[in-house]
Amino acid sequence: MPNLNPSRKPQPGDLIEIFRTGYQHWAIYTGDGEVVHLTSDGSLSGVSSGLSSSTETGVIRRDSLANSAGGSCYSINNSADRVWESLPIGWIIKMAKAMAGQTVYYSITTANCEHFVHLLRYGRKKSVQADRVSAIIPMANPKFSNVYDGQHVKTMEEEYQSALRNSHPKPGDMIMILRPKLNQWAIYVGDGDIIYPDSGRVVVRKPLFEVAESDLWCINNKLDSSMKPLCVKEIIRNAKAMIGQEIAMSEEEFIRYIRCVKKVGSSSAVTKKVNHATNGANAIGFAIFKIVIYTIVAALGIVMLLSAADILDVCLLPFI
C-alpha cells in the first residue's frame, strides 16, 4: 500500500485516490489511519457491479486506510481546491463519521465514491472518471431511480441532510448555506432559527431548514482564527438588534461584524457601515438644503441693497 507521495502524509479531510486496475477508488481521510468511503453493495471494490443496472445501493463504510486501499497505490488528491473552497476540516470529519454505516443510492455515473468524497469536502459532487465513462458510453448514464426492491433508498445528499438535522449548531455559530452560485451566510441564534439579510438586504429571522430548503449547509466559524468572537449573549443581542434594518454590506461581512464587534450601536463600526447608504443620502440632502438657503439669503441681500439705494435717491432729490 505505497503512498505515491511519501513526503506528504494524509491529513484529516484529505481526499485519497486509490489506483485500482482500470479505475480509481476514493476515500476521505478522517485521522488516526482511518477513512470513510462509499462502496457499492457493501463491497470494497468501490465500483458498481455493472453499467447496465439503473439502480444500485452502496454502503458508506468507516475503515482503515490500509484495508480500503487493499495493497493498491494511493495518493492525496485535493485538486478541486483550485476550483472550490473546502469546508472546515472539523465539519468534514463530523459529517463523514455521521454518515458512516448508512445505505445510499449508488450509480457509477451520478453517485459513486468520487462524488461522495467531494460532497463531503466541498459540499458539491464531482467525478472525473464518471464524466469520462458517460462521454465514452452514453448509455452508461441510466435514468435516475432510487427505488430498490420496492423501497426508497436515500441519495447521498438526502443522507447528508439527515446528518445535518442531528448536527445541532450552537447559538452564535456562523452558518454557510451552499448555494449553486454564491454561498449564503447567517448567524444561528437558537431554537432552529437564523438571522440573516434577505434578498432585499433587510435583516430577518427565520428557521434554518426553511431558508436552506434542499441546499446543504455547514457551520463555518472560519474567522475565529483571525478575529476573536464575542460571547454568545453579545452575538445574539447584536443579531436581534439588527432585525428589520436594511444593510449595505455583504452577508459575510455583516455576519462577521455581528459576531465580532463589541456592540451594535450608533458609534460602532457595524452601524456606521450598515447605515452608510442612508448617511450618504442624508449628507447629499443637507448639502442641497444649504445651497438653497444660501441662495435665498443672497437674493434677500440683493433686494435689501436695491431698496436702500432707492431710499437714498429720494432723500437726496431736494438737493439735486
What total of structural domains would you count in the chain? 3
Quick check: 195 pLDDT over 90?
yes
In a domain, 237, yes or no: yes
Same domain membership, residue 295 and residue 260: no
Q: Which three cell numbers stand for residue 3?
A: 503512498
- The active-site residue, picked from 73, 113, 168, 276, is 113
115 is a catalytic site residue: no
Task: Average the pLDDT over 126-131 and give the result.
Answer: 87
254 and 300 in one domain?
A: no
Which of 149, 164, 179 is a domain's end point? 164
- pLDDT 10s digits, 25-65: 999 999 999 999 999 864 444 443 333 344 588 999 999 99
CB within 8 A of 185, min separation 6: which ones? 174, 175, 176, 177, 196, 251, 252, 254, 255
CA distance 15 to 114: 9
Does residue 148 surpass a pLDDT of 80?
A: no
Burial of 54 (0-12, 13-18, 19+ CB in 10 A): exposed
pLDDT digits 0-9 by tens, 237-279: 999 999 999 998 888 889 888 988 766 554 344 444 444 434 5
Domain residues for 43? 15-164
Tell me the three cell numbers of residue 105: 443510492
Nearest-angstrom CA–CA distance, 188 and 208: 8
Confirm whether 113 is a catalytic residue. yes
260 belongs to the catalytic site? no
268 shares a domain with 220: yes
Rounded to two decimals, the pTM is 0.75
- Whether residues 217 and 246 share a domain: the answer is yes
pLDDT, position 262? 64
**19 lies in the same domain as 114:** yes
Same domain, 241 and 179: yes
Pair (32, 145) in one structural domain: yes
* CA dist., res. 197 & res. 59, Å (int): 39
Q: Are residues 293 and 251 in the same domain?
A: no
Asked whether residue 53 falls in the same domain as residue 175, the answer is no
Phi, psi of 188 (to 5 degrees): -80, 130
**Which whole number is the average pLDDT over 226-245?**
93
Residue 292: CB atoms within 10 A of its CB come to 10
Q: Indicate whether 113 and 29 sit together in one domain.
A: yes
Catalytic residue among 37, 115, 118, 260: 37
